[in-house]
Amino acid sequence: MKRHTRNNLFLCTVFSFCLLCFSPWNKLGNSAEARSSAAAESSFYFPGEFEEHEAIWMGWPTYENKAGWSVKDLHVQLWAAMAPHVYVNVAVNPNDARKGWQYDAQIAEIKTLMKKYNVPEDKIRFQKIRHEDVWWRDMGPIYLIDGQGNRAIADFGFNGWGYEANDSEYSKKEGSIDVQVARLEGIKKIFRTSMISEGGDREFNGKGVLIVVEAVEKQRNPGMTLKQMEAEFKKVLGVKKVIWLKKGRFDDDLTFTGRLADKNGKKELYTVITTGGHIDEHVRFVSSSRILYTEISEEEAKNDPIAAENRKRFEENLNILKSATDQDGKPFELIPIPSAPTIIETLKPGDGAYDYLAANDKMKKYNKIPDGQPIKVILASSYLNFLVTNGVVLAQKFWQEGLPQEWKRLDEKAVKILQAQFPDRMIIAFDARAINIGGGGIHCNTQQVPKAKK
């Protein structure tokens, strides 16, 4: 889901020393935030994403996953849809000669696009925050609230979805974003843990129930048992119950673990810097008692080996959800939504996602890309990777002129289901392939700031 450039050894060494020695990147320092008590021992909790928001965070892109597919244009289109309903906080990199970033030049580019898409300037708030990636669902600030109108931050470890070493330059820098935001906003309470976990693998009903994927959390924390991880989730996030699903989407498996078979059985499809099975690609809370889940028919499974494996995984997860109960011991209402079409594209040298995979150490060791050769990739396509915010749901669509009409019917069915679940919100569907080809979706690129409650 991301890319970063490699620097010479001297610069890396100096930068890593700075990360360890100076805030805001020293998570284990002696700051006031580091002494915060556990959320479980206070009244802080994670509200449902379908509750009211004060703002939405997004990071301004520093690269394109595929040349000619503009993440920047897509982001500004998303702002235009959100602006009538909620403020948008946009993280923009300050001047950095080493990276070639100029703050004023970025703002000028942004404002040109805002004019193009009619985005009101008074609803967009720029913040100088160092970052390299757009996946703010995972490394952005995870807000908790209490009943007195206060916010806190839950600060997990981060290792680039398992593609990076826990202490790599990239892991430390992107993992520091939540602390940067906390200090920018004057948030003193930060509930810290060395456990590694990303926001895209956590679904909350806002009443104390959390759903996560076992395969994802185990991969990030091989030295922890499920019991230990569950205790940490409860301590840091203030939840009362954790529901463990087994696996995520097959086409979301980590890229370095191997290639997937196409419809002819040939194993030549790469996933695209994917997460290993994040929950937001296949199961979502739409209220405290209702869950949307991805459904694949027998017919779909017959025609596609990827769909066949997904069907097995989703049926196992569905059985777990059928037996699960909420914080009061009541069963959930389970609503099916179709699986998005399987979309195959090509990446080549010069594409951001390709260049990262070609240079990644784990890829070189386990699933090396042939030198300089283009590769076939499967996009991270899902109808569940949507953002729900005040008055609007930003959804994904996949049909275009010239593509199968069945894709259009799937898009329309998914929008109809979302509208039924959010009758008081407008459903706006976007062609999000510029993000999907990087390994995620609209939900992955956004992070909500919940409205503080009293």
Which pair of tokens denotes residue 355?
Answer: 């260049």
Helices 103-116 + 71-82 axis angle, to 10:
60
Could you identify the residue written with the tokens 């509208």? 419
**What are the pLDDT tens digits along the chain (454 aa)?**
655 444 443 344 434 444 434 333 344 333 344 445 688 778 999 999 999 999 999 999 999 999 999 999 999 999 999 999 999 999 999 999 999 999 999 999 999 999 999 999 999 999 999 999 999 999 999 999 999 999 999 999 999 999 999 999 999 999 999 999 999 999 999 999 999 999 999 999 999 999 999 999 999 999 999 999 999 999 999 999 999 999 999 999 999 999 999 988 999 999 999 999 999 999 999 999 999 999 999 999 998 999 999 999 999 999 999 999 999 999 999 999 999 999 999 999 999 999 999 999 999 999 999 999 999 999 999 999 999 999 999 999 999 999 999 999 999 999 999 999 999 999 999 999 999 999 999 999 999 999 998 7
Compute the radius of gyration of the chain from its Cα atoms: 21
In a domain, 7, yes or no: no
What would the DSSP string read from start to end of 242-309?
Answer: EEEES---GGGS-GGG-PEE-TTS-EEEEP-S--SS-GGGTEEESSSSEEEEEE--HHHHHH-HHHHH
- Cβ neighbors of 72 (< 8 A, separation 6 or more) are 60, 61, 64, 109, 113
**Using CA atoms in the order 325, 276, 57, 354, what is the torsion angle rounded to 10 degrees?**
-160
Kindly report whether the peptide bond that precedes residue 24 is cis, defined as omega within 30 degrees of 0: yes
Distances (CA, A) of 267 to 263, 299, 308, 309: 10, 22, 15, 14
Number of domains in the chain: 1
Are 189 and 255 spatial neighbours (Cβ–Cβ below 8 Å)?
no
Which pair of tokens denotes residue 428?
Answer: 């706006």
Put simply, whether the predicted model's pTM sits higher than 0.95 gets the answer no
In a domain, 27, yes or no: no
| pLDDT score recorded for residue 1 | 60
CATH code, domain carrying 278: 3.75.10.10
In a domain, 14, yes or no: no
**pLDDT tens profile 71-85:** 999 999 999 999 999
In a domain, 289, yes or no: yes
From the list 237, 287, 277, the residue with the least C-alpha distance to 388 is 287
Tell me the sheet residues that pair with 290: 333
From the list 407, 419, 429, 356, the residue with the least C-alpha distance to 135 is 356
Domain that holds residue 335: 36-450
In a domain, 4, yes or no: no
